[in-house]
Structure 1
Amino acid sequence: MSYLVLARKYRPADFNAVVHQEHVTTTLKNAIELNRVAHAHIFTGPRGTGKTTIARILGKCMNCFNGPSPIPCENCRSCNEISSGSPSDIIEIDGASNNSVDQIREIRDNLVYKPVHSRYKIYIIDEVHMLSTAAFNALLKSLEEPPPHIIFLFATTEPHKIPVTILSRCQRHDLKRVPLGALSEHLAGLCKNENIDASMESLLNIASTAEGSVRDAMSLLDQAIASAPDNKITLEHINWLIGSSSFPVIKETLDSIFKADRKALINILAELYLSGKDLKIFYSDIANYLRHIIILKINGKEGNLCDISKDCKNELLEISMGLSPQYISRLLDITLKEESKIKYTENIRILMELLFLKLCEIPETKSLEKILVELEKLKASDPGEVYISESRKTEENKIEYKEPVHETDLPPVNVSTDKKQNLKTLSNEEIWLKILEKISKIKMAAGNLLKNNSRFLDFNNDTLKIKAVGSGYHISMLKKESSLIEKTASEIYGKEIRVEFDESFIDESLNKGFVNEKEKIFLQAESNPLVNAVKNKLKGKIIEERLIKNKRFKEE
């Protein structure tokens, strides 16, 4: 074939032509000028960012007859061979198809031979992470101490799969994704050289689709040129080519979600489905533009974190005006959580309709400041119904955290006769139930302990006598709560009350053996704050308690 694709036709011939990898190319050029080029390099990074290209350029610079020079002459035999793709002293190996230990041993055995006519024999192993463990081990010694005429250049997209013993013997260069602006400018230069009329919006869309890969962007541009009428590339043509929806459709969809317009959303999905659009790509676009809105609200329009045009930024901010980043984040969170279902479902239209209806149900998140302003307005309109304490108006509307109340922190009992409760109509047993109820509200664990392991005996001479039931462990736990019981009973009776425990009903046999330990564990579980929190949250109760013994298994 006579036609050469753009990715090969415009492949960089020197370091200056590499797109947006100056941190790597500058390092290599300085190393060549200072004669400090290492015998092994590894280039890592995403696909299509220039790993193999930089390795070839480095080989050209090292073998140039007028070098080593950071700028190859492009006229000598070595430079011409590399440019034509048939170098005799640069051996390029595909690690994916030559990954066995025998093939690496063959390379190792050939290291002793001098180059044919160049200064160095250079081995470029692409996708080096595909080599087997045995192949890596066979390469270790040669990689650490190669002959003086040997240079190893490795390229990989997955450096984490390469053994540390290999990485430690190489100089590592990490290539970056090419930013949207640099990639779109590079594509604009190619279009100018090819006499193609391409709008900047279309080139931005191509660069965004390529996700920082120069090769992917050039391949997509090549396809767009072949399919574009009259050598004119527009944004609509690129959207049609990659199956993406136009920005007005995405904007209308987001606006309908924000307004909870369910009818409009169903109609948009129906039109996209009937027109043959890929709904999975449309779903991905919605997630990306939700992310753009969050970034714009946080970082502003001037940042470079959103790969969209300025007009798109302004329109996104317009439809999301008044919406908080927290609300948009909730929408994006739900969208991403449902992404796995979208990928594997056979009924994508139904699933997306369900998802969009779910997004319409998400309420707008109001900030604390907005809530306080609304409360202030309500207070001003009807002070009798809404009351906001003066303490909330101060200290910049901060909410203070209050520690849980313990029995030692209870306020002193007021024994004033004015506040005594009228207990004449109640029996002592009914008063005891009131005490238990109040203790349970203050400290649930203590209330459960009293209900299960105590009984009311008598009340005489301001002394409350309680019968302790259970083991010695239970009486010790009850005595720890005596101060809480006295304070609560004093509030109920309206005077100072003392508590006495009758221990004659304690069964000492429970203090021996497994039964006491079992009851002890159950009581600790019932008194556990986490257990009580779950009970309160679910408004439930403990129905059954089980003790699970640890079992040890022997290996057979």
Structure 2
Amino acid sequence: MAHIALYRTWRPQSFKDMVGQKHIVQTLQNSLREGRFSHAYLFSGPRGTGKTSAAKILAKAVNCQNGPAVEPCNQCEACLRITEGAVMDVVEIDAASNRGVEEIRDIRDKVKYAPTEVRQKVYIIDEVHMLTTEAFNALLKTLEEPPGHVMFILATTEPHRIPATIISRCQRFDFRRVALDEQVERLREVCSNEQIEIDEDALAFIARLSDGGMRDALSLLDQIIAFSGQRVSYEDVLSITGGMASDQFEKLVTAIQDKDFGAALRLIDDFMQEGKSADKCMENLIYYFRDLLMVKMVPGSGAVTERIVDVKRFSEVAQRFTSESLIAMIDTLNYYQTEMKYSVQPQTLLEVAVMKLCTQVGGPVAGSGSASVVQAAPERQDGLVVQLMGRIQRLEDQLAQLMKQGIAPAGGSPAPSGRAGLGGTGRQASAPAVVKKIEKLDAFLQGREDAAFRGVLQQWSQVLGRVKELKITVHAWLVDGEPVSIHDGRLLVAFKSAMHRETTEKPANKQLIEQVMNEVLGQPYRLVTVMMKDWKAASDQAGGAEAPKEELQLVAEDEQSGGGREAWIDEAIQLFGEELVKIKED
């Protein structure tokens, strides 16, 4: 006989079999006992918590030939046939695939007919939030005033997507995540009946991974049994689920505390060699530090420590850190976990995150008995501040010297009157900035006519299409840009929007675009960006527009004023760097 999945074999067939929903079971049983059941129910809650099972049990309870009763007998013909799904008057509908108005109109037309096989016609609509607005409208009137022989049971994981007019016509029951100890007890019962030997810590680990969903726990147990056979160990569970034992994380935390970069990186490499994924390692590491924080801040609460098998061992590790340092490390890991979603090298980000933790940890709290207290971090920070202040001072001195010579930053104040040689307007203040932009783009201006660039233009739509396939959000930013030139293995893209340009320049996004360009164009181009207005200004100036005349007048004024062109050129090189300044003789 073919194997039947454990979650189907152990699906509750009566209210007493349900796990972790005592508040709902008691309310429904009281209603059945008193004969006060409603015409419409809404069951909402996380996946795998028993919503559809409770709906089927309720349908059996109201139609049981020995009832209505607080429990279906599961012996009469009505109970047996409802369990098999063979009763035409008990209809289970998947709203995810039957979400249109026509399907709901069909229900509305049929509810007026009396049941033919059982006493109560029951419609179970699963994932009801998937219905369209028109379908909800078609259901509304029928749900408000159905015939006395009809009962609707709506099940959903997203009740916020259901119109309030529908919810107000139902009795709502919120299913909760199943508690860890209840899950463990149920898994133990299943293993006992299936003649499976399993370690207690393995049961607890499976329950923690299921995140409160009983169905997820049974599915995971089924998969592990297929791997291990009749004897399941804790190591088997870790192997099949990709999880990591807490002692492995304890070694990693010790390396972080000791600022032992080598040991930390070796442990990460071991995780990868064992087949663990970087994102799973990051997630588990965040959970581990969360558990340390909870044990430290609320040591006696079972609600926050039920995830932990060995609370005493966690407490010993937690004593090495302050609460503030644990919170800071969780923040750091959370930041890199977010960045990891957009990275093509997640392992590198995991390694960077761990090294970041090594640098920011301040050592253990006083009295912990460890000798790994490191006070170098504040000193390094003080030294960095001194360096930055020195650089700022040097830049201010250079700026003051240039201002004395009549050269101001773009958009700044005009130069002193003795240097304003452009009709007294002071417009020469912006000339150096214009010169910088033009000289910087000079090589790209020549690359516009390159045959290779014409090939890039022809294939640019393919680049955009491939980027869209890999990550549609990056495509939304990149589509604002337009390739304008190539030079020395670099592709220049001009953007109309500064925000689009900045987002495209983010390392993860830029890496993805360059990867696609290499794949589509067949050459490893590096992405360089510029604002479209700056590119057009440079193009106009190179083509003989008014801006070059300003530069020529400025040079002539320098020569007439006796200041000497060589001094001005020296200052330009000092300000912008020798690689950005080219001297042209006219």
TM-score in terms of structure 2 length: 0.61
Query: Structure 1, residues 287-309: CA drift from partner, whole Å, max 9, x if none?
Result: 00100011101111552323444
Partner of 1:65: 65
Please tell me whether the aligned partners of residues 326 and 365 of structure 1 are also in contact (alpha carbons under 8 angstroms): no
Shift of residue 74, structure 1, vs aligned partner: 1.6
Q: Shift in Å at residue 108 of structure 1? A: 0.2
Taking the aligned partners of 2:43 and 2:301, their CA distance within structure 1 comes to: 33
Note if 1:277 corresponds to 2:249: no
Letter in 2 for 1:238: V
One-letter code of the match for 1:316? Answer: F
* Alignment partner, residue 321 of structure 1: 319
Letter in 2 for 1:180: L
CA-atom RMSD in angstroms: 1.7
Alignment of 1:209-288 (within 5 A): 209-229=209-229, 231-288=230-287
Contact 1:93 1:126 in 2 (8 A): yes
| Residues 48 and 213, structure 1, Cα contact 8 Å, conserved in 2 | yes
1:298-328 superposed Cα distances (whole Å, 9 cap, x missing partner): 11155232344442x2222222324211110
Secondary structure, aligned partner of 1:38: coil
Matched-pair contact (CA < 8 Å) for 2:257–2:364: no
Q: Is the partner of 1:112 in helix, strand or coil?
A: coil
Cα pair 2:96 2:128 within 8 Å, conserved? yes
Equivalents in 2 of 1:366, 1:242: separation in Å? 33
Q: Where does 1:125-524 land on structure 2 (aligned, <5 Å)?
A: 125-229=125-229, 231-301=230-300, 303-311=302-310, 313-364=311-362
Task: Tell me the residue number matched to 1:379.
Answer: none
* Whole-angstrom distance in 1 between the partners of 2:38 and 2:363: 57
Could you list the per-position Cα deviations for residues 163-220 of structure 1 after superposition, in whole angstroms to 9, with x for gaps in the alignment? 0000000000000001111101110110000010001111111111110000010001
- Residue type at the aligned position of 2:34: L
Flag the structure with larger Rg.
1
Shift of 1:242: 0.7
Q: CA deviation at 1:262?
A: 1.2
Q: Which amino acid aligns with 1:266?
A: L
Kept after mapping to 1: 8 A contact 2:279/2:337: no
Note the alpha carbon deviations across 1:400-424, whole angstroms, 9 max, x for none.
xxxxxxxxxxxxxxxxxxxxxxxxx
Query: Structure 1 residue 150: deviation in Å?
Result: 0.3
Distance 1:272 1:309 in 2: 21
Distance 2:320 2:228 in 1: 41
Q: Which moved more, 1:166-175 or 1:255-264?
A: 255-264
Q: 2:87 touches 2:117 (CA, 8 Å); kept in 1? A: no
Q: CA deviation at 1:106?
A: 0.6
Give CA-to-partner distance per residue, 1:374-418, whole Å, 9 cap, x none: xxxxxxxxxxxxxxxxxxxxxxxxxxxxxxxxxxxxxxxxxxxxx
Q: For structure 1, list consecutive stretches of 5 or more residues without a partner in the other structure.
A: 371-556
2:320–2:363 Cα contact (<8 Å) kept: no
**Cα displacement (A) at 1:365:** 8.8
In 2, distance between residues paired with 1:348 and 1:309?
A: 27
Aligned to 1:45: 45
Deviates more, 1:254-263 or 1:2-11: 254-263
Give, in whole Å, the separation in 2 of the partners of 1:91 and 1:207. Answer: 33
1:143/1:32 CA distance change after superposition, 3 Å: same
Range 48-57 or range 220-229, more displaced: 220-229
Q: 1:241/1:307 Cα in 2 relative to 1: closer, same or farther (>3 Å)?
A: farther
Amino acid at match of 1:235: Y
Q: Which residue of 1 aligns with 2:27?
A: 27
Residues 253 and 265 in structure 1, CA contact (< 8 A), matched pair in contact too: yes
Number of equivalences? 367
CA distance in 1, matches of 2:363, 2:273: 35
Deviation at 1:85, TM superposition (A): 2.8
Deviation, structure 1 residue 363 = 4.0
Change (3 A) 1:332 1:27: same
Contact residue 52 and residue 126 of structure 1 kept, 8 A: yes
- Secondary structure at 1:314 match in 2: helix
The alpha-carbon deviation at position 34 of structure 1 amounts to 1.2
Deviation (angstroms), 1:109: 0.2
- Look up the equivalent residue of 1:234 and give its one-letter code: S
Which residue identity is paired with 2:322? S
Q: Secondary structure at the match of 2:172?
A: strand
Query: Distance between the aligned counterparts of 1:254 and 1:363, measured in 2?
Result: 10
C-alpha separation between the residues in 2 aligned to 1:178 and 1:18? 10
Structure 2 SS opposite 1:338: helix
Q: CA deviation at 1:44?
A: 0.2
Query: Counting helix residues as a fraction of each chain, which structure ranks higher?
Result: 2
The 3-state SS of whatever aligns with 1:364 is coil
Distance 1:344 1:188 in 2: 40
CA distance in 2, matches of 1:236, 1:279: 20
| CA positional deviation for 1:366 | 9.8
Contact preservation (8 Å) 2:180, 2:208: yes
Contact 2:89 2:122 in 1 (8 A): yes
Task: Give the partner amino acid of 1:82.
Answer: I
2-side partners of 1:361 and 1:9: how far apart?
52
Q: Percent identity?
A: 38
Q: Distance in 2 between matches of 1:130 and 1:197?
A: 42
Letter matched to residue 355 of structure 2: L
CA contact (8 A) 1:254 1:286 kept: no
User: Which position in structure 1 is the counterpart of 2:540?
Assistant: none
